[in-house]
Amino acid sequence: SQTIHQWPATLVQPVGSPLSLECTVEGTSNPNLYWYRQAAGRGLQLLFYSVGIGQISSEVPQNLSASRPQDRQFILSSKKLLLSDSGFYLCAWSVGFLEQYFGPGTRLTVT
Amino acid sequence: QKEVEQNSGPLSVPEGAIASLNCTYSDRGSQSFFWYRQYSGKSPELIMSIYSNGDKEDGRFTAQLNKASQYVSLLIRDSQPSDSATYLCAVLSGAGSYQLTFGKGTKLSVIP
């Protein structure tokens, strides 16, 4: 069966500091991978998606970036965090463009 | 702008009753529809998917889709306190589309 991991589970970072969140998927090959953010009182917002190694599409212009160095690894990064980057970051995977399954998430607080 | 609308709730139902959750969407070309359950502080969990008009049943859950009315619903029969959560409606537009558009969710509270 497929499993998706995210770490860290929680993170408190000062404004202006860098960020690296990691997501890995087990039990499937060549998944589509997604990064979402859920801010308080707002819906889920798609940030990036990837259909293969090195292929990243960005949905929202911002100070975040994503990379996919391996088939089942997806990384979300920032060089300098803003207060507005606080939120619940969720990685998801799908086979093709059907059901998406979410990881446990990382709760980021920027202070 | 593709939109998915849900009543924010909270929707309160007594234990054992039927909970009815509703969702409307703006993109008439939408093809696939999903319901996720999200417990407080946790990530969304997929509970139902539906692709064609009509009803789809899975245990105590029934998803209903009416593409002409651009309406999708989720019925939860014999509601349990463990069903208390926020339910997110998500819509995938068009064949080969990657982008799920989520509603903001309906908070359901099942009262023992």
Q: Could you tell me which residue, A62 or A6, shows the higher pLDDT?
A: A6
pLDDT at A10: 97
List B23's β-bridge partners, or say none. B72
pLDDT at B98: 77
User: What's the pLDDT tens digit per position in A87-110?
Assistant: 999 999 998 878 999 999 999 999
A59 contacts in chain B (CB < 8 Å): 99
Tell me the per-residue pLDDT of B2-45, one tens digit each, with 9 for 90 and over: 799 998 889 999 999 999 999 999 999 898 999 999 999 999 99
Long-range own/partner contacts, residues A41-50 (CB < 8 A, 24 or more apart): A42/B104, A43/B88, A43/B102, A43/B103, A43/B104, A43/B105, A44/A90, A44/B44, A44/B88, A44/B90, A44/B100, A44/B102, A46/B99, A46/B100, A47/A76, A48/A76, A49/B98, A49/B99, A50/A74
Nearest-Cα distance to chain B for A16, in Å, is 26
- Over residues B80-98, the pLDDT tens digits come to 999 999 999 999 976 666 7
Instruction: Tell me what pLDDT residue B8 has.
Output: 82
Rounded to the nearest angstrom, the minimum Cα separation between B66 and chain A is: 19
Determine the residue of chain B that is closest to A43 in CA distance: B104
- How far is Cα A98 from Cα A92, in angstroms, rounded to an integer? 12
pLDDT at position A97 is 76
- Eight-class DSSP state of A83: G
A58-65 long-range contacts (CB < 8 A, ≥24 apart) are A59/B99, A64/A19
Mutation site for A-interface testing, chosen from B1, B43, B48 by largest number of A Cβ within 10 Å: B43
Q: Where are the beta strands (DSSP E) in chain A?
A: 3-7, 10-13, 19-26, 32-38, 44-52, 55-58, 64-70, 73-78, 87-94, 101-102, 106-110
- Whether the per-residue pLDDT at B1 is higher than 80: the answer is no
